[in-house]
Structure 1
Amino acid sequence: MPRTLSSTKTRAALRISARISLELLLILVMAAVVLWALGQMWSVIWPLVVGLLLTTLTWPLARFLRGCGWAPALAASVVTLLFLLVATGIAALIAVPVASQSGELADGVAEGIERVREWAAGPPLNIDDAQIAQATDTAAARLQSSAGSLVTAVVAGVSTVVDGVITAVLALFLMFFFLKDGPRFLPWLAHQLPGRLATDIPAVAARSWDTLGAFVRSQALVGLLDAILIGLGLWALGVPLVLPLAVLTFISAFIPVVGALFAGVVAVLIALVFNGPTDALIALAIIVVVQQLEGNVFQPMIQSRGLGLHAAVVLLAVTLGSSLAGIVGSLLAVPVAALIAVVWNYLREQLSHPPQEPESNERHAGDAVVS
């Protein structure tokens, strides 16, 4: 006989589904409210995030100095000054060679533009000088007509640079205070929270700190691999300014998508200017291969091991973060996913049943045999 649906079970299933849907809806609303609040406080949160990431990078040295008996303020001051010196040295590694070859670079740019013009004048494009002049006049007219929007773009760019400088200064000061007073934060937090929160939140915070450190170390390792492989390829081609380009590649690894694109464009342009189109195409192929290896092999593998996330989760997190918040979202996607995993694992540990002790099982079995 055909089986019929039970009305009682159907109503129970619908009630359970409705309750679960309502709970999920409330969770989504709460998440939207939290994201909105974070967006309103972003001018404070962003320097805080940058300061925390810098602290995870410099904390091992500060911890070593504190272990040697240095006062916390002295250790934090020395590490902060060393960080500034290293950052200045990295900037010098990029700026000094470029400035010393600025004349050759300018001549090479002019020569490269002339090569492009000559190539465009030949087949298959066959663009003559009159067409180039006409295109130049058209571009100039468009620039004049859009002068207002250009001024707005320039003002927005200047504002972005100023905001970046302010963020960097605030992050540097926050890094100093984190290095100085960081170990006292969790005990202080435990005394401020009531009940079980005094244990749970400091425990989650400690695990989150370890996770952020693993993220920064893995990102630095990925950037180092990129810099070495691309630097070796450019050196083999005889491209000048290899060291500044390698340093720029390493730094750009911390800025997803745009950083790698910018470093690759600079390297290809320099190869085109100094070595010609053939070497520029080879350099482009090297950069594309290395960046594909980074995005699809190195970064997922290294970060999945360091953060306890599957490689597919890393890829999906970066994709979702970039679609939601652009560059900042792609930068923070992996650590945010790792922190969510930390919180979930801790909740699962607290909500799971404790394992039964073997001794008690053996004792009950013995009692049953005796009885």
Structure 2
Amino acid sequence: MNRGQTYNRHLQSLASASLRLVAVAAAVWILSWVIGETWVILLPVVLALIVCTVLWPPVRWLRGKGLPPAAAALLVLVAAIAVLAGVLAAVTPAIINQAGELAEQATAGVVEVRDWLGGPPLNISDAQLNSGVEAINDTLNSSSAKIASGLFTGVGAATSALVTLFTAIVVAFFFLKDGPRFLPWLRHVAGRPAAPHLAEVLQRVWATLGGFIRTQAIVSLVDAVLIGIGLVVLGVPLAYALAILTFIGGFVPIVGAFVAGGLAVLIALVANGPVNALIVLGIIVAVQQLEGNVLQPWLQAKSMKLHAVIVLLAVTLGASLFGVIGAFLAVPVAATVAVILRYYDEQVAGRVDDEETAEADDTTV
């Protein structure tokens, strides 16, 4: 084979691979467009699935005790709504009463930091500070506008939060009631050879989502309790409100904890001085290290297998596309994709091993 033939074969391979890449990219674009157009329907379904991963164990236990499926699902769902409403009723007044003070403390903290930057040893000029503050304000304002207007967007005409919440509750009820019938129905509809693969992937995704939500709840609670105790002992204002924000922020990995911790340090700086703020920072860093190096690996074990960089990029992409909801759903979606890719890799590895074994047997014969 001469050089021209070799080059031609390489070009043919490159062209074939490029066409496949373009086809895959087009399929991904079409899929993203379909998701965007049907987001108003998909969002309640996804939220319902996440809720069901948490509520299914008690429903299964009640069904095992002889309670009808509908009654078990309704009882657990009503109990969960009652608990959530009770927590919100107990927490919301404190947050509302302290919201103004929280905003004032944060504003005062920004002013104090600005004064410190303008003094020695940095001696940053007022013009530089003003331009920096204006840039930050513009960014925050634009982000706030996106969050306020894009919380449930992604389609041309978005549904309201109440309608989405009500739909998610109704869908969750039917998932809890009829969930065990889904896999047999799917096997019947899909048929072989797809049915076994779909069932196995869905079971793994279900286990991964359930593990993620339960783990995040436990980790967020531990973070909120430990940081809240530290804030109370140090006499930081709004300690209980900051602990609640820490718990809520824990459901948005990395970013949520960073924002809540930064706000706590800022308020401690304004109210109690730099020494107290440094102690608060040390407590937050210590708790985050405990979470990252002990709690997360121990609780999640092998359920997630997602690198911190993947988590951060997923949260950033989700927040930029769908706001707060996107940031919350980013990690479960990334974990689901990872489960699918791992299963595909297992199937490829198994097929390659089978082919190598067959070739070895033929060679032996």
Structure 1 counterpart of 2:193:
196
Residue-by-residue CA offset, 1:186-216 (whole Å, 9 max, x unaligned): 1112222243223322222222111211221
Which residue of the other structure, out of 62, 73, 77, is the alignment partner of 2:70?
Answer: 73
Structure 2 counterpart of 1:216:
213
Residue-by-residue CA offset, 1:236-278 (whole Å, 9 max, x unaligned): 2134664454333212212457744664466457657875776
Number of residue-to-residue matches in the alignment: 331
Structure 2 counterpart of 1:353:
351
Bigger-Rg structure (1/2): 1
SS in 2 for 1:305: coil
Q: Which amino acid aligns with 2:30?
A: V
Residue-by-residue CA offset, 1:5-64 (whole Å, 9 max, x unaligned): 733333222211211111111011100100011001111111111111111111111111
- Write out aligned runs for 1:41-120 (5 A): 41-97=38-94
More off after superposition, 337-346 vs 311-320: 311-320
Structure 2 counterpart of 1:309:
306
User: Post-superposition shift, 1:364?
Assistant: 10
Q: Which amino acid aligns with 2:92?
A: A
User: Post-superposition shift, 1:91?
Assistant: 1.2
Structure 2 counterpart of 1:237:
234
Cα distance change on mapping 1:102 and 1:308 into 2, 3 Å: closer
User: Post-superposition shift, 1:300?
Assistant: 7.7
Structure 2 counterpart of 1:8:
5
- Looking at structure 2, the residues matched to 178 and 364 of structure 1 have their Cα atoms a distance apart, in angstroms, of 50
Cα distance change on mapping 1:124 and 1:184 into 2, 3 Å: same
Which residue of the other structure, out of 176, 189, 195, is the alignment partner of 1:179?
Answer: 176
More off after superposition, 282-291 vs 224-233: 282-291
Higher relative contact order at CA 8 Å, sep ≥6: structure 1 or structure 2? 2
Residue-by-residue CA offset, 1:109-135 (whole Å, 9 max, x unaligned): 69x97xx79x97xx969xxxxxxxxxx
Q: Which amino acid aligns with 1:44?
A: I
User: Post-superposition shift, 1:289?
Assistant: 6.0
Corresponding position: 1:34 with 2:31: yes
Task: Compute the TM-score of the two structures, normalised by the length of structure 1.
Answer: 0.70
User: Post-superposition shift, 1:70?
Assistant: 1.4
Cα distance change on mapping 1:317 and 1:241 into 2, 3 Å: closer
Structure 1 residue ranges without an equivalent (≥5): 126-149
Structure 1 counterpart of 2:17:
20
Residue-by-residue CA offset, 1:86-141 (whole Å, 9 max, x unaligned): 21222133235557x769x869969x97xx79x97xx969xxxxxxxxxxxxxxxx
- Percent identical among aligned pairs is 42
Cα distance change on mapping 1:94 and 1:265 into 2, 3 Å: farther
Task: Compute the TM-score of the two structures, normalised by the length of structure 2.
Answer: 0.71
